[in-house]
Amino acid sequence: MAKIAILGFGTVGSGVYEVLCHNAASVSRRAGEPVEVKYILDPKDFTGNPVEPLVVKNIDVILQDPEIQVVVETIGGTRFAYPYVKACLESGRSVCTSNKEMVATYGAELLALAKEHGCAFLFEASVGGGTPIITPMHQCLAANVITEVEGIVNGTTNFMLTKMVRENLGFDEALKIAQELGYAETKDPGDDVDGRDACRKIAILSSLVCGHQIYPQNIPTRGIRDITVADVAAAERLNCVIKLIAWMKRGDDGSVAAGVEPCLVPRSHQLAGVDDVFNAVLVKGDMLGDVVFYGKGAGKLPTASAVVADVVDALKNGSKVHDSLFWQPAEPVDGMLTDPTPAAYYVRAAGVAPAVVEAIYGKGRVVDEHFDGCSYLVEQADAKAMAEAARKVEAMGGGDIKLLFVTGLYLGWQLNILCLFLACILGILFGLIANRKKDSQTLFPWGPAITAAAIVTLLAGQPLLEAYLSLL
């Protein structure tokens, strides 16, 4: 009989116990022997609970028991989980975990420890919950060079975005529903909505693909807090849906780019129809092409089923699994793993008139106009160009729009268009004068140019307009 211990008896830990009890016969048949939970490590009080006789408060009880073959870690985080897991591996006991933070941060070290001490370190449930992705990538796709991975790997944010689309809800309303249903943390949902959970998961997949440790802190990450009802409507006009996408790309030269960000996904794309709490990961191999893994990304029993599958694998194969499941240690890189390839960008340009937005962001189309700006789809740009455009918008500010509104009330719409045109010309001239020194990048406020243009328009606007119209 195989004896195991469970560290942490929260949602996933109790789920593991439930799966082992409910499917005892099936698990035993696949493992080749009965599997029994001997210890549960948890500081809570379990008086009157059926598992009370199994509960211990000290990790040493588990480490000193030679009968324990496999340890299941479901504590979460790294403060306690990491030293406990490290001690278990050093004692020759296999560890199965759903802890994506620990794997993303210490994966290479723990994999090496497992191989050194003849045991297994398995973490199928750390990405995709109950949806298998780790095992297929290191076994079934072993004949492929994987060049891209992209997917929806956070069920909470996917549920919220689905609600925002279907029911025309704002972020706060969608978050409240997710919290009420237990999909999002009540106290601090930041790991989900700010993209940190998805970042850890794509870091794990990137490490597996690249063969060396990729750290979450090197992956540019942005969540969904800033997504508005207007953005959802704009996506609809573009025949797209908004999804929080975690992605990585590997170049022919070995370079790696990765990120987590809300993306406009065309409705024809495989990921567009992945809704509610479901996850999907698209993997691109050089021989196979595209393959999609789809299923529930969270939940007590789906996640627990993946952990138990790892327990079976650890009992049957032990350290042999690390002939294919491993990656090398590496130091974090300086900076972020950004993708220099030009791409389309959707922006909300606050304080920017639609008439001048193309001059700032480059060629594209206005998706929607607002009182204080517009939504704009840039056809093609890189991160550097977008950062420069953002600097220009910041320099303009919302006050410029208000100033143009005031001039329009006084001059009328026809002359105000002329005023805007002259303001752009004068702004360029003022900017050239302010940055006449080589490599100077001084930001020049647009307000003085608007004021000067308004004065010119007031004094000579009508004759200038008539002269222009006479040329047509």
C-beta of residue 94 within 8 angstroms of C-beta of residue 70: yes
Per-residue tokens: 27: 């698990």
**d(C-alpha 39, C-alpha 59), whole Å:** 10
In 223-299, which residue ranges form alpha helices assigned H by DSSP? 229-237
Amino acid identity for residue 260 in this structure: V
What is the b/e burial string over 163-196, where b = at least 16 CB atoms within 10 angstroms of the residue's CB? bbbeeebebeebbbebeeeebbeeeebebbbbbb
**Residue 242 DSSP SS3:** strand
Whether residue 338 contacts residue 118, with contact meaning beta carbons closer than 8 Å, is answered with no
DSSP state of 291: E
Q: For residues 370 and 344, give the distance between their C-alpha atoms in angstroms, rounded to a whole number.
A: 21
DSSP bridge pairs for 247: 150, 259
The string of DSSP codes covering 308-372 is HHHHHHHHHHGGGGGGTS--B--PPPSS-----S-EEEEEEEET--HHHHHHHH-SEEEEEEETT
Cβ atoms 317, 32 nearer than 8 A: no
The residues annotated with a catalytic role in the active site are 201
